[in-house]
Amino acid sequence: MLSTFARMTLLCLRPIRRYALMSRDDEDDHDDMDCDSLLWSRELERHSLGDFSMAVVQANEVIEDHSQVETGNGAVFVGVYDGHGGPEASRYISDHLFSHLMRISRERGVITEETLRAAFSATEKGFLTLVRRTRGLKPLIAAAGSCCLVGVIWKGTLLIANVGDSRAVLGSSVSSNDHRSNRIVAEQLTSDHNAAQEEVRQDLRSLHPDDPRILVHKQSVWRIKGIIQINRDAYLKHPDFSLGPSFPRFYLPEGLKDRVLQTSDKFVIFASDGLWEHVSNQQAVEIVNKHPRPVRIARRLVRRAMNIAAKKKGMMYDDLKKVERGVRRFFHDDITVAVIFIDNELLMVEKATLPELSIKAKYFMVKNAQGIARRLVRRAMNIAAKKKGMMYDDLKKVERGVRRFFHDDITVAVIFIDNELLMVEKATLPELSIKGFSHTVGPSKFSLFFS
């Protein structure tokens, strides 16, 4: 069963050709929900077995959650990477894990549990190499870690790999006791690799019987070495990154699981623990089931979690929305949610033809990058209007020519730099030329000079 699934998945998950943006809450035109400037979402996109919905909210000063959905002809890949101690590890996983999986799968000709383990291992090895190269400039990068939840779906089969306490939850329809109606039930497909779990604590104690401080209970929370709740950090696993002699190397294996989807299975929720801290498995599937194929269902789950988080602190969500990133972490964690709907009638289809699509949440979270050039221009025009004693809404009505009395022509280009790409010999991207004056887009002439 798995070998057939593996070979076909390898054929279906080809290099991604189309990239999509996530929209920020306050940049949408919908009036049904109030805006939250730290919330992004993508609604609804197609995959080979149905639709998917995705949303992320930022709490940390620099967002530590990164995620991606990759779709191809007949398959879908979902990754949720919940970082801690900084965004470096989760960002690195988002940039490299899927590529490693495709490379290793092509080399071996199949996708199996061992292929996924190899992709995890290659990604971790690459990150540790990055740590060695950069720890002189950024010593705390060795303290960065990440949970990693991955799902691959092809033709009715779901393969899941999980490290940490992110969670995949399946929503299935079952008959009620009187058989007159159906109800939705939740099934957790992953195990939480978290010190809060008694099983994990027992494993840690058995692996380190001579270390009385392998687990520390403080402020009602179990922490490994008194620092974190999960156990995949470089400084905990590798002695050369140790912050001191009390941090030994230890390791718990990642969990992998494959499942044949049934016609009663309706959707799978992939989410970081920021959601599950406030919303139970059953509550989550009931929220999704209550609104069949709605626009913005992932965002609805995120907002439910934030409503509950606000109430726990004795405040309203409308007030929480006004709290800036960084301070938000006192109320809730970064939250990532991807809801993968399953169309039962498509389970038996040999192959669905869909455009290949890649959505990576991290590109639109870091530093609120989406629309940043436009934001800078609008900020300048707001200030220009105030200098003349008027509102920006009034300035927008002023015709060109007369506008020159208020401000000059303004051009802004913001070039973001991914640190990981600085060491790459050559990146292959489509050639592109954008000329702001004529507002045209066409093939770049750069290749004439640099090829």
User: For 282-318, what is each residue's pLDDT tens digit?
Assistant: 999 999 998 866 678 999 999 999 999 999 999 999 9
Q: Which of 77-86, 237-246, 252-261, 269-278 has the highest mean pLDDT?
A: 269-278
Per-residue pLDDT band at 409 (split at 50, 70, 90): very high
* Distance of alpha carbon 139 from alpha carbon 154, whole angstroms: 41
Same domain (yes/no): 403, 325: no
| pLDDT value for 221 | 44
Mean pLDDT of 195-200: 55
Same domain (yes/no): 402, 265: no
Rg of the chain (C-alpha set) = 24
Burial of residue 292, with CB atoms counted within 10 A of its CB: 0-12 exposed, 13-18 middle, 19 or more buried: exposed
Same domain (yes/no): 177, 283: yes
Q: Would you give the DSSP letter of residue 399?
A: P
| pLDDT value for 145 | 79
Same domain (yes/no): 272, 406: no
| pLDDT value for 88 | 86
* Distance of alpha carbon 294 from alpha carbon 53, whole angstroms: 9
Same domain (yes/no): 42, 14: yes
Question: What are the structure tokens assigned to 203, written together?
Answer: 């494993």
| pLDDT value for 369 | 54
The answer to whether residue 450 sits within a structural domain is no
pLDDT digits (tens, 9 = 90+) for 145-192: 788 899 988 767 898 988 888 999 999 998 776 666 688 999 999 887
| pLDDT value for 435 | 55
The answer to whether residue 242 sits within a structural domain is no
Question: What are the structure tokens assigned to 270, written together?
Answer: 């992939």
Mean pLDDT of 311-333: 92
How many residues does this entry show for the chain? 451
| pLDDT value for 142 | 73
Same domain (yes/no): 307, 174: yes
The answer to whether residue 265 sits within a structural domain is yes
Q: Would you give the DSSP letter of residue 373?
A: H
Same domain (yes/no): 44, 182: yes
Domain extent for 146: 2-188+253-367
Mean pLDDT of 73-96: 87
Per-residue pLDDT band at 50 (split at 50, 70, 90): confident
Last residue of a domain, one of 310, 341, 367: 367
* Distance of alpha carbon 161 from alpha carbon 1, whole angstroms: 18
* Distance of alpha carbon 122 from alpha carbon 110, whole angstroms: 17
* Distance of alpha carbon 75 from alpha carbon 48, whole angstroms: 6
Per-residue pLDDT band at 44 (split at 50, 70, 90): confident
Residue 258, H or E segment: strand 255-260
| pLDDT value for 114 | 82
| pLDDT value for 117 | 83
Domain CATH code at residue 12: 3.60.40.10
Contact 93, 241 (CB under 8 A): no
| pLDDT value for 106 | 83
Same domain (yes/no): 132, 35: yes
Same domain (yes/no): 112, 139: yes
The answer to whether residue 318 sits within a structural domain is yes
CA 238 to chain centre: 26
Same domain (yes/no): 129, 25: yes
Q: Would you give the DSSP letter of residue 402?
A: G
Same domain (yes/no): 316, 389: no
Last residue of a domain, one of 367, 393, 426: 367
Residue 108: CB partners within 8 Å, gap ≥ 6? Answer: 115
Residue 449: CB partners within 8 Å, gap ≥ 6? Answer: none
- Whether residue 271 has pLDDT greater than 60: yes
Q: Would you give the DSSP letter of residue 83?
A: E
Last residue of a domain, one of 367, 397, 432: 367
Residue 266: strand, helix, or coil? strand
- Whether residue 29 has pLDDT greater than 60: no
The answer to whether residue 214 sits within a structural domain is no
A 10 A CB-CB count for 419 gives 12
| Across 215-224, 325-334, 414-423, least confident range | 215-224
Per-residue pLDDT band at 56 (split at 50, 70, 90): very high
Contact 301, 55 (CB under 8 A): yes
Phi, psi (degrees; rounded to nearest 5) at 357: -140, 140
Segments in 18-112 forming alpha helices (H): 88-108
pLDDT averaged over the chain?
74
Mean pLDDT of 130-157: 82
Higher pLDDT, 432 or 29: 432
- Whether residue 260 has pLDDT greater than 50: yes
* Distance of alpha carbon 20 from alpha carbon 151, whole angstroms: 20
Burial of residue 177, with CB atoms counted within 10 A of its CB: 0-12 exposed, 13-18 middle, 19 or more buried: exposed
pLDDT digits (tens, 9 = 90+) for 219-239: 454 444 434 444 444 434 444
Q: Which of 75-84, 254-263, 352-361, 431-440 has the highest mean pLDDT?
A: 75-84
Higher pLDDT, 56 or 203: 56
Per-residue pLDDT band at 422 (split at 50, 70, 90): low
- Whether residue 373 has pLDDT greater than 70: yes
| pLDDT value for 136 | 82
The answer to whether residue 96 sits within a structural domain is yes
Contact 205, 140 (CB under 8 A): no
The answer to whether residue 282 sits within a structural domain is yes
* Distance of alpha carbon 342 from alpha carbon 355, whole angstroms: 18
* Distance of alpha carbon 219 from alpha carbon 104, whole angstroms: 43
Half-sphere exposure of 34 (CA within 13 A, CB side): 9
User: What type of residue sits at position 28?
Assistant: D
- Whether residue 333 has pLDDT greater than 70: yes
Higher pLDDT, 200 or 175: 175
Residue 284, H or E segment: helix 281-290
Same domain (yes/no): 163, 267: yes
Q: How many domains does the chain have?
A: 2
The answer to whether residue 358 sits within a structural domain is yes
| pLDDT value for 450 | 31
- Whether residue 360 has pLDDT greater than 50: yes
Contact 6, 152 (CB under 8 A): no
Question: What are the structure tokens assigned to 13, written together?
Answer: 């998950």
| pLDDT value for 447 | 31
- Whether residue 338 has pLDDT greater than 90: yes
Question: What are the structure tokens assigned to 33, written together?
Answer: 């929900």
Give whole-number Cα distances, 43 to 30, 298, 322, 341, 365, in Å: 12, 8, 24, 12, 17
* Distance of alpha carbon 305 from alpha carbon 300, whole angstroms: 9
* Distance of alpha carbon 63 from alpha carbon 58, whole angstroms: 6
